Amino acid sequence: MSFTGDYSEVADAQLDKLEQGPDAELYDAVLAACELVFAAPAVAQSYSAAVTTASGIVLRLPVAGHPPYKVFWTSARPRVEAVFPHP
């Protein structure tokens, strides 16, 4: 990854897979979404939908220009939990 932040093991593995994949634009767009989460979490939250899980609330941020990809993150201390296509 090109910048630091807090990532779950799941998200880290998903980002590694995207980095090695054929779509560099998708990978760059996902990194831009992650960067927004860490640099401006209030702004990222305003673009996110809230999803209630058994573990609490997770925010779902769309990846610009790459539907249906979303970055799932938690806001207490911004942390990217997962990245995958989701309706």
- The two tokens of residue 42 are 């209030």
Answer yes or no: are the C-beta atoms of 84 and 14 closer than 8 Å: yes
**E-only strand ranges, the chain:** 6-7, 49-53, 56-62, 69-74, 79-85
Phi/psi at 63 (nearest 5 deg)?
Answer: -90, 115
- Per-residue pLDDT, 55: 87
pLDDT band at 3 (very low <50, low <70, confident <90, very high): low
> In this predicted model, what pLDDT tens digit does every residue of 45-54 receive, in sequence order?
999 999 999 9
Angle subtended by helix axes 9-20 and 24-39, to nearest 10: 150
